[in-house]
A and B are shown apart, each in its own frame.
Chain A
Amino acid sequence: DAKTTQPTSMDCAEGRAANLPCNHSTISGNEYVYWYRQIHSQGPQYIIHGLKNNETNEMASLIITEDRKSSTLILPHATLRDTAVYYCIVRVPHDMRFGAGTRLTVKP
């Protein structure tokens, strides 16, 4: 089973920040947190990943709590094209299991 818990769905207004939470309370010290998204039936697209420090790239920011038991993906200015299913994954070297994800709907 996936090691993460995410809300089933969320809405966000266009132009606002989208904050997607993820709970990974059983994470261990060498496991990274990854975020992917899937638009329609395309292959999942990598967004960002981190171990314990907050991370930022051109797509998003990842905030990981100090105890590493939860994280938040932030899309700073959501657009309609960000409507997708977002997956939070805890990664061990040989395994990458996806949960059900959060369906984010960005509304005009």
Chain B
Amino acid sequence: NAGVTQTPKFRILKIGQSMTLQCAQDMNHNYMYWYRQDPGMGLKLIYYSVGAGITDKGEVPNGYNVSRSTTEDFPLRLELAAPSQTSVYFCASVPGDRGRANEKLFFGSGTQLSVL
């Protein structure tokens, strides 16, 4: 198993450009999450999904969109990049079987994004 795979690892965008951060997991997990982490700060939840076709907003969803067409993939879309979106982005997943709360998160290695 590869676990949670994020691509790319690094990216530099110009203001106003768009891009998609990819996240894939091969563990058949139901729940997936996107977080951002600004320098020296904790993780902030952007969006999450409890299964294919179901997504919901987290704490800081503005400027982002997500989709969940398959169990494996949970891409994060930035439509009009802004300097405030410079951050490290982490994707995570958890089995989420029957909504149990006693399952640990598996994290990807992160994508470092700079918007200049």
Q: Which of B44, B50, B104 is in CB contact (< 8 Å) with A46? A: B104
Contact with B along A26-55 (1 / 0, CB 8 A): 000011101010000111111001010000
Bound complex: CA of A2 vs CA of B59, how far in Å? 10
Contacts of A2 in B (CB 8 A): 42
The reply to whether A36 and B99 form a contact with Cβ atoms under 8 Å apart is no
B2-36: contact bitstring with A at CB < 8 Å (1 yes, 0 no)?
00000000000000000000000000000101010
- Asked whether any CB of chain B lies closer than 8 Å to the CB of A99, the reply is yes
Could you tell me the distance between the alpha carbons of A94 and B32 in the complex, rounded to whole angstroms?
9
Question: Which residues of A are found within 8 Å of B99, using beta-carbon distances?
Answer: 93-94
Find chain A residues with CB under 8 A from B112 CB. 41
A59 to chain B, nearest CB (A): 12
A100 CA to B109 CA in the complex, in Å? 19
Q: State whether the Cβ of A95 lies closer than 8 Å to any Cβ in chain B.
A: yes
Which of A36, A95, A101 has a CB less than 8 Å from the CB of B48?
A95
Q: Across the interface, which residues of B come within 8 angstroms of A94, CB to CB?
A: 31, 48, 50, 56, 96, 99
Distance of A7 from chain B, by nearest CB (Å): 14
Rounded to whole angstroms, the CA-CA distance of A87 and B90 in the bound complex is 15
Contact present for B102 and A49 (CB under 8 Å): yes
Q: Is the CB of B101 within 8 A of A98?
A: no
| CB <8 Å contact, B101 and A91 | yes
Least CB distance, A107 to chain B, in whole angstroms? 20
Whole-angstrom distance between the Cβ of A64 and the nearest chain B Cβ: 14
Give chain A's interface residues, CB within 8 Å of chain B.
1-2, 30-32, 34, 36, 41-46, 49, 51, 85, 87, 91-101
Selected A-B contacts with CB under 8 Å, 22 pairs: A2-B42, A31-B101, A41-B37, A41-B88, A43-B109, A45-B107, A51-B102, A92-B101, A93-B99, A93-B101, A94-B48, A94-B50, A95-B58, A96-B45, A96-B92, A96-B94, A97-B58, A97-B59, A98-B35, A98-B43, A98-B44, A101-B42
